[in-house]
Structure 1
Amino acid sequence: MELLTGLILGVVVIAFSTSLSQKLGVAGPLILVAVGLAASWLPVLGPFEVDPELILVGVLPPLLYAAAVRLPAVEFRRDLPSISGLAVALVVISALAIGGFITLVLPQVGFPLAVALGAVLSPSDAVATSIVKRLGISPRVVTILEGESLINDATALVLLRSAIAAVAGGFAFADTVGTFVWGIVAAVAVGVVVGLLNLSIRARMNTVAATALGFVVPFVAYLPTEHLGGSGLVAAVAAGITTGQGAARRFTAELRVSDEINWRTVELMLEGGVFLIMGLELRGILDDNTEQQNGPGTAVLLALASLAILLVIRAAYVAALIFVQGRRARTRQRERLELIADRLDAVPADFGGRGGQPGAARRRLQSMRNRLTRAFHDLDYYEASPLGWKHGTIIVWAGMRGVVTLAAAQTLPRDTPDRELLILTAFLVAVISLLLQGLTLPGLVRLLRIPSTADDTTLLHEEREALDDALRSAAVERLADPTLALEHGGTWDDRTLAIARRRLEQAADEDAGTQARELQLLVIATMRARLLELASEGAFSSEVLRESQRRLDAQQVSLEMRRNDL
């Protein structure tokens, strides 16, 4: 009964805190940490502690999966080198630096365990993304922060496992690197397979059953990967990305709508619950540290020094990243692409006709043209949203610690010297970074006078209109096909087709009977096919593509419901 009461109160607090955060302009996780910390001092609450395995196994896989499913694929691919560097290289560098610092001040801990603590402190949290989105920062910065927080959690936990294994079996550089690489490779392989199976199996089920089955997908990816010695979190991320990219082609509109709402709710509850737990546990950790270390003074100093080291290293890495990106010769790249385009245009129309497989040759040629089109769109994206030092400053200051730091710190071996001190240090790094950086980030944006995103909003509006025009043109062309009525048994007369074309050209979506309803479903299918083609070309941003798909899905679900009611 006490557990049920606690769960009910937790859901209520998370829901109200989320609503309050929108009115106050303060990130919900910050409010939840404060609420949890305040509640921990209530007399009715005793020492509060949650098994870290519950968070690592029960919370993080679905949490990361939910974020991976909604990942903006086009922008993620374009900035993958930058995201990978922040999520992998920066985590490793930061962990080694913190390991060296802890070894100097606490030599009894030993370098491998010190690196383990560094791995705990290194990953940034996704809470920064919600703050930056609300501040209207460049969507490219949001994508980089979102992608980094999605991958670096898994990197940190693989590194943590490798460091703890080195303590148990003796440190060997080759073995440690091998363990790290295997943890990533095995996880990606399992995650992709699980994602493909998820798409294949759930596409054949009704929406209710498919939705129920979808909740276990992150754990289906996590558990076998852990058994193989890989990172279950990386597997959950890989499964989420695979599912998110294939859902537009494989799932029904109703299932996509259901999945989006359900996973957003799951993400809200899990993330909010972890930050609430973070505040509730802090008092108990302070009490344990007081008994072992005679007060939190040492932990506070270690936390401040560690956070300073992390920020300095992050600033140096991001500065190098911005410098390298600024040095890229985009003009030369465009010149090379234009030269390739000219050569492709010079290919004769009967290319491949003098062999045994003209169709295969033409498909290869079309594939090359598609890749070239995507490359031109990528260059347009880089030139339209360059990263400057102001954006780099935001990326540095938005590197807050959170969920993984909270859970992973408590997985340090029980026989670790000064374990209570290290755990409190990790908690303080997370709390200080959340409160200090999270609360001052809006002020930093105002201080830097970063240009307003009004121009970006105008561009998005123009992009939406261009995408709507492209989809409408594809639908009009399909309706103009003289064989359309014959393909459907001759049941659609010319007058019905003419009415549908006129309404479509006028952007109307009114229903005029059974034939019109079926035609509208056909139009939606045609638009969705064209949408997928445009998505593969990279001509539009993920935000605009997903908004258009949501509208098409909503229209299709509404039409199908009315058809089923007849």
Structure 2
Amino acid sequence: MSSVDAFKLVLICLIAMVGLQLLATRLRLPPAAALLLGGTALAFLPGLPPITLDPDLVLIVFLPPLLMNGAYFSVWDDLKSNFASILLLAVGAVVFTTLCVGLALHWVIPALPWAACFALGAIVSPPDAVAAKAVLERLALPRRLTVLLEGESLLNDAAGLVLVRFAVSAALTGAFSASSAALSFGLLALGGIAVGGVVAYALIKALKYLNDDFLMITITLLASWISYIVADFIGVSSVISTVTCGLAIGWYQHELFSAAARLRGTSFWAVMVFLLEALVFILIGLSLRGVVTRLEAHGALPLLIPAVATVIVAVIVSRFVYVFGIDGVGALVRRLRGDATRTDWKATTILGWAGMRGVVTLAVALGLPDSMPGRDMILVASFAVIFVTVVIQGSTIGAVIRWVAPDDTDVRNTRHLNEPQAWAHLEAAQLGAIESLVRDAEGKLIHPRLFEQYSYRAQLSKSISELDTFPTDRRIAHYDIVLAAIAAGREELLRLHRAGMLHDELMHALERDLDLQEISARHNRG
């Protein structure tokens, strides 16, 4: 396929995406499921050439910005308070699923080497950040469940990719060491954190010297690929490096970006992520044709159905066994400590059913070497797992949530202010900032329109309607004071957040209000 044909294919995918999004809305389906089904249907259209995806290109184009977006908008407080639970899912569930799938597959196909069985287990074990976000963003879940699922999807790819690397090496060489794998994972993770931190530090320093909104937004986009590519070049975890970089820039963006840059950047990222997610699922569907064609040529497709069905069942059941087992152990530990808290079967059921796979699973499967034992079966099983988890689980998770009706028992930390309390702090700071500015040295009120803004503006417009030009000095003086008040409110908001008194979600909401006020004031000031 030529470059021009590839571009035309992307345009066709974007056009199809619009229709599929509308169809998903009409049928009340998760967009990810509709896009995957649509891409699969497009793949078998007569006259359409087979689509061959470069797995390395898919990973490097789509994964870094999507990981960066998830990390950038992550809530620090929730991540910290649930970090142990996230790690149990991101690492423990990946290892457990890998073992269960490997054992089940070897039971069905004893001739397949153990390493190849575990390689498939590692490929299908990590739920995907893109799939999880695409399905969960339209569902109403208790806050803790959302944090666990999104946090898991950000970190588990690193564990899965390390396991795949060792499993493939073992399948090709016959050598494997569990201790070496564990040590390698630790080193890769620490290296990824270090690289992501260094890249974030350098970019944050650069952002401080820029005064151009579009350049600042461009740098945040480039940060995803820089952190990913540098980590990959050094040989450490690209996933963890990108997530670390995104978390760091997201933490400092309140101080680095102007109101206009922040609002423009948020809009830019929202549109870009929407397009990338849509293209990912359509391309996954399009890739099925090449896999099926290759297997039909060998007459192997019917023979693989039992093995593929076993893998799908093992993937789904092992996640339920793991999450319910962890919840049970946690309840037992709490009971031994004197806490009578019971297991939360409702939340655990949702965790078990929300294991959607996506782009990483497909890209890693497509990237397996041709000499890998059982490669064709691994490709079919990987696609089948993606298809079932996104289309079936993704389409029914809303019904599961309504059925179990989870208790929203999330309790905000008492050190966090609520919204009225936060506004009281901000408005007190703003009033303090303008009190000395609206009066002259004798205490006379010289800017009464700040107290009765709209009525004063109407009176002012009437009083100067006969003048040839508008008295800009009066307008500028007015909005200079407004901007001073907004700056004082922003400083107080940041102080409350850095002191741990303000939850990240409320911080973003109040900051957006101040950003809108500032943009309006700067526009009116001229």
Find the counterpart in structure 2 of residue 337 from structure 1.
none
1:428 counterpart letter in structure 2: A
The Cα of 1:23 is off from its aligned counterpart by 4.2
Find the counterpart in structure 2 of residue 292 from structure 1.
298
The Cα of 1:3 is off from its aligned counterpart by 2.2
The Cα of 1:423 is off from its aligned counterpart by 0.6
Find the counterpart in structure 1 of residue 401 from structure 2.
445
Instruction: Return the alpha-carbon distance in structure 2 between the equivalents of residues 5 and 83 of structure 1.
Output: 41
Find the counterpart in structure 2 of residue 388 from structure 1.
344
Q: Given the alignment, which residue of 423, 426, 437 partners 1:468?
A: 423
The change in CA–CA distance for 1:90 and 1:501 in structure 2 (over 3 A counts) is farther
1:275 is aligned to 2:281: yes
Find the counterpart in structure 1 of residue 308 from structure 2.
303
Q: Percent identity?
A: 28
The Cα of 1:414 is off from its aligned counterpart by 1.0
2:177 counterpart letter in structure 1: A
Q: How does 1:117-266 map to 2 (within 5 A)?
A: 117-126=120-129, 127-168=131-172, 170-205=175-210, 206-266=212-272
Q: CA RMSD in A?
A: 3.2
The change in CA–CA distance for 1:8 and 1:417 in structure 2 (over 3 A counts) is same
The Cα of 1:108 is off from its aligned counterpart by 4.2
1:391 counterpart letter in structure 2: A
Further displaced range: 193-202 or 301-310: 301-310
Q: Given the alignment, which residue of 56, 60, 65 partners 1:57?
A: 60
Q: How does 1:393-412 map to 2 (within 5 A)?
A: 393-412=349-368
Instruction: Return the alpha-carbon distance in structure 1 between the equivalents of residues 113 and 446 of structure 2.
Output: 79
Find the counterpart in structure 1 of residue 471 from structure 2.
none
The change in CA–CA distance for 1:250 and 1:286 in structure 2 (over 3 A counts) is same
Cα contact 2:172–2:372 (8 A) shared by 1: no
Instruction: Return the alpha-carbon distance in structure 2 between the equivalents of residues 252 and 491 of structure 1.
Output: 32
Structure 1 counterpart SS, 2:301: coil
Cα contact 1:194–1:220 (8 A) shared by 2: yes
Cα contact 2:323–2:351 (8 A) shared by 1: yes
The change in CA–CA distance for 1:407 and 1:129 in structure 2 (over 3 A counts) is same
Further displaced range: 255-264 or 27-36: 255-264
1:533 is aligned to 2:488: no
Structure 2 counterpart SS, 1:134: coil
2:430 counterpart letter in structure 1: A
The Cα of 1:145 is off from its aligned counterpart by 0.9
Instruction: Return the alpha-carbon distance in structure 2 between the equivalents of residues 121 and 492 of structure 1.
Output: 74
Cα contact 2:142–2:406 (8 A) shared by 1: no
Find the counterpart in structure 2 of residue 35 from structure 1.
38
- After superposition, the C-alpha distances for 1:233-283 in whole angstroms (9 at most, x for unaligned) are 221111111111110122222222222112222211111111101111112
Cα contact 1:36–1:276 (8 A) shared by 2: yes
The Cα of 1:533 is off from its aligned counterpart by 3.0
Cα contact 1:123–1:156 (8 A) shared by 2: yes
Structure 2 counterpart SS, 1:215: helix
Cα contact 1:10–1:273 (8 A) shared by 2: yes
2:163 counterpart letter in structure 1: L
Find the counterpart in structure 1 of residue 108 from structure 2.
105
The change in CA–CA distance for 1:56 and 1:476 in structure 2 (over 3 A counts) is same
Cα contact 1:496–1:515 (8 A) shared by 2: no
- After superposition, the C-alpha distances for 1:441-487 in whole angstroms (9 at most, x for unaligned) are 1222232244689x99xxxxx9433332332233234445x5x789x
Find the counterpart in structure 1 of residue 464 from structure 2.
none
The Cα of 1:33 is off from its aligned counterpart by 0.8
Instruction: Return the alpha-carbon distance in structure 2 between the equivalents of residues 420 and 414 of structure 1.
Output: 9
Cα contact 2:312–2:384 (8 A) shared by 1: no
1:9 is aligned to 2:12: yes
User: Where do 5+ consecutive residues of structure 2 fail to align?
Assistant: 412-416, 455-459, 462-473
The Cα of 1:204 is off from its aligned counterpart by 1.7
Instruction: Return the alpha-carbon distance in structure 1 between the equivalents of residues 484 and 331 of structure 2.
Output: 46
1:90 is aligned to 2:96: no
Instruction: Return the alpha-carbon distance in structure 2 between the equivalents of residues 399 and 52 of structure 1.
Output: 22
Cα contact 2:142–2:408 (8 A) shared by 1: no
- After superposition, the C-alpha distances for 1:181-225 in whole angstroms (9 at most, x for unaligned) are 221111111011111222221232211222233322112111221
1:138 counterpart letter in structure 2: P
TM-score scaled by structure 2?
A: 0.85
2:8 counterpart letter in structure 1: T
Instruction: Return the alpha-carbon distance in structure 1 between the equivalents of residues 452 and 77 of structure 2.
Output: 33
The change in CA–CA distance for 1:463 and 1:235 in structure 2 (over 3 A counts) is same
Cα contact 2:32–2:135 (8 A) shared by 1: no
- Give aligned pairs, total: 496
Find the counterpart in structure 2 of residue 344 from structure 1.
none
The change in CA–CA distance for 1:452 and 1:92 in structure 2 (over 3 A counts) is closer
Instruction: Return the alpha-carbon distance in structure 2 between the equivalents of residues 275 and 249 of structure 1.
Output: 36
The Cα of 1:99 is off from its aligned counterpart by 2.3
Instruction: Return the alpha-carbon distance in structure 2 between the equivalents of residues 165 and 227 of structure 1.
Output: 19
Instruction: Return the alpha-carbon distance in structure 2 between the equivalents of residues 523 and 47 of structure 1.
Output: 61
Instruction: Return the alpha-carbon distance in structure 1 between the equivalents of residues 192 and 319 of structure 2.
Output: 27
- After superposition, the C-alpha distances for 1:120-163 in whole angstroms (9 at most, x for unaligned) are 10111243444444332212211211111111123212222233
Instruction: Return the alpha-carbon distance in structure 1 between the equivalents of residues 260 and 92 of structure 2.
Output: 40
Instruction: Return the alpha-carbon distance in structure 2 between the equivalents of residues 326 and 463 of structure 1.
Output: 31
1:408 counterpart letter in structure 2: V
2:49 counterpart letter in structure 1: G
Instruction: Return the alpha-carbon distance in structure 2 between the equivalents of residues 293 and 417 of structure 1.
Output: 17
The change in CA–CA distance for 1:49 and 1:263 in structure 2 (over 3 A counts) is same
Instruction: Return the alpha-carbon distance in structure 2 between the equivalents of residues 496 and 107 of structure 1.
Output: 88
Cα contact 1:14–1:32 (8 A) shared by 2: yes
The Cα of 1:310 is off from its aligned counterpart by 2.5
Cα contact 2:102–2:117 (8 A) shared by 1: yes
TM-score scaled by structure 1?
A: 0.80
Cα contact 1:199–1:251 (8 A) shared by 2: no
Find the counterpart in structure 2 of residue 495 from structure 1.
445
Cα contact 2:123–2:164 (8 A) shared by 1: yes
Q: Given the alignment, which residue of 34, 46, 51 partners 2:49?
A: 46
Cα contact 2:98–2:118 (8 A) shared by 1: yes
